[in-house]
A and B are shown apart, each in its own frame.
Chain A
């Protein structure tokens, strides 16, 4: 099968999806995080009655509104791409995405759209408490919207709670709760939203730091910094905790991704965690020398991956060639089983056409016995299961380094806020400005790790990316790629220009949105 696929089409389709997702994700973290920061500020206002907190709430709400307006509906393009560029995949996932995406649509519409109006237009029109409730519901609603999208993504990384129907070539949901509450989905959801809170907290600190550097709005900025740094510190520690949970799930469900994250070619008991390293070329790595340089913490990878310091962590070579001692089946064997599943599916379809019940029954049994390896049947050789080592390794390590830096950053900012005059600490105020692009980079590195690291799979072990695409003209995908690049760049420029204008005007720029 894979020989007949136009790789250029697959690459362009992937590039287009990546471009759309990356741009979309520039808007989402601020929406997810700013709503909670605004809700906390408004809660302080309602509790204390201090009008300064109302002013803070309204200013950040205005910036949230700009981001929300520019970002809204940019994610819908991803759904268009599923239907057009990834039609085999869309049909294959069947009902699984239907329920979460429908719930997401309904929740987004009713919760966000209803209460967001009260949030912006309801000042002095509804009671303080109802307004506060609306703000919290916008925060909760937007985060719950993210839940359903992330559940769908997690299912692609760990397809559970389903059954593939060979008669329709569609996955059918057997257990909604298993899909929703799979540990992969829960960790992914919590890790993603908490990392978005970090981005939003840094955004608030960076804008406030700019005011302090300009010696403007000092009280306003310092109050904003205290709320954002406290929220950000709690969120960043939660990011570390859920990151550990996510890596543990990767070790269980996507061991190839874990090995690529750590540059581990040969598995070992008591494997060390590479805190940082520089990878050698592919040729040298395959010859047994994967690192030019590395700093390793002994036994930590085994501990984090299997909660046991002496556990065996399989390397890429074990996963490709198999390891009998540790009961790891070779990829060649999986390819063989995958090809049996594909042949059985074809034979089942033929028997169905001929109305041969006995053959239908026997081929279905063969298919079901080998179905879990069906995706491997489309691979040409065992090494096709390996993702890009450099992209996976570096995205993971830079993400973790930045995540740890943010914890330190929030601690320092909070300490300076409480113990001394932060407005005089120009080094840290400038560091806060630099932290803003770094937070977006860290957030995107997380997605690059998740999505590049799971290649070649569109659905883990079941459907390779190359088989998931529609048979379109490559030029069509190229045209829409550049159309999206223009559209999203225009939106991003509009967002930055409008946002900067409002920031320059500051909280004195008027109350109305």
Chain B
């Protein structure tokens, strides 16, 4: 029996779409590896936010940047 429920039809579209993927499966593997490298390896290890890692409040951050902008002047 054909289920006309919109949620079910959306689910079925995604289900069939993923199930019948050919090259898409390899692409998803590449996407997941890439996202892992970008968000876990690069972001956490190599790209902490410089100001957030040194200061906790906005006032501390602005004081630091003003010092950077005005020192030696």
> Which residue of B12, B24, B48, B51 contacts A91 across the interface (Cβ within 8 Å)?
B51
Does A190 touch B at the CB level, under 8 Å?
A: no
Does A476 touch B at the CB level, under 8 Å?
A: yes
Q: Are the CB atoms of B38 and A467 closer together than 8 Å?
A: no
Does A51 touch B at the CB level, under 8 Å?
A: no
> Which residue of B16, B49, B65, B69 contacts A84 across the interface (Cβ within 8 Å)?
B49
With A66-B23, A83-B49, A84-B47 already in contact, the answer to whether A91 and B73 are too (CB < 8 A) is no
> Which residues of the other chain, A, contact B52 by a CB distance below 8 angstroms?
83
> Which residue of B20, B26, B51 contacts A512 across the interface (Cβ within 8 Å)?
B20
> Which residues of the other chain, B, contact A167 by a CB distance below 8 angstroms?
62
> Which residues of the other chain, B, contact A377 by a CB distance below 8 angstroms?
73
Count A interface residues, CB 8 Å: 57
Does B40 touch A at the CB level, under 8 Å?
A: no
Question: Which residue on A lies nearest to B9, using beta carbons?
Answer: A125
Q: Are the CB atoms of B20 and A169 closer together than 8 Å?
A: no
Shortest Cβ distance from residue A476 to the other chain B in the assembled complex, whole angstroms = 7
Q: Identify the stretch in A288-296, A315-323, A342-350 within 8 Å (CB) of chain B at 4 or more residues.
A: A342-350
Q: Are the CB atoms of A510 and B22 closer together than 8 Å?
A: yes
Q: Are the CB atoms of A483 and B46 closer together than 8 Å?
A: yes
Q: Identify the stretch in A73-81, A96-104, A155-163, A306-314 within 8 Å (CB) of chain B at 4 or more residues.
A: A73-81
Q: Please, what's the 1-or-0 string for B21-52, where 1 marks a CB less than 8 Å from any CB in chain A?
A: 11110111011001101100011001111111
Q: Once the chains are docked, how many angstroms separate the CA of A188 from the CA of B18?
A: 38
Q: Are the CB atoms of A65 and B65 closer together than 8 Å?
A: no
> Which residue of B21, B58, B68, B72 contacts A513 across the interface (Cβ within 8 Å)?
B21
Q: Please, what's the 1-or-0 string for A313-340, where 1 marks a CB less than 8 Å from any CB in chain B?
A: 0000000000000000000000000010
Q: Are the CB atoms of A73 and B35 closer together than 8 Å?
A: yes
Q: Are the CB atoms of A512 and B22 closer together than 8 Å?
A: yes
> Which residues of the other chain, A, contact B27 by a CB distance below 8 angstroms?
65-66, 69-70, 498, 513
Shortest Cβ distance from residue B50 to the other chain A in the assembled complex, whole angstroms = 4
Q: Once the chains are docked, how many angstroms separate the CA of A165 from the CA of B72?
A: 21
With A3-B72, A513-B22 already in contact, the answer to whether A169 and B13 are too (CB < 8 A) is no
Does B7 touch A at the CB level, under 8 Å?
A: no
Does A257 touch B at the CB level, under 8 Å?
A: no
Q: Once the chains are docked, how many angstroms separate the CA of A88 from the CA of B49?
A: 11
Q: Are the CB atoms of A491 and B34 closer together than 8 Å?
A: yes
Q: Are the CB atoms of A339 and B21 closer together than 8 Å?
A: no
> Which residues of the other chain, B, contact A83 by a CB distance below 8 angstroms?
47-52
Q: Are the CB atoms of A88 and B68 closer together than 8 Å?
A: yes
Does A287 touch B at the CB level, under 8 Å?
A: no
Q: Once the chains are docked, how many angstroms separate the CA of A81 from the CA of B66?
A: 21
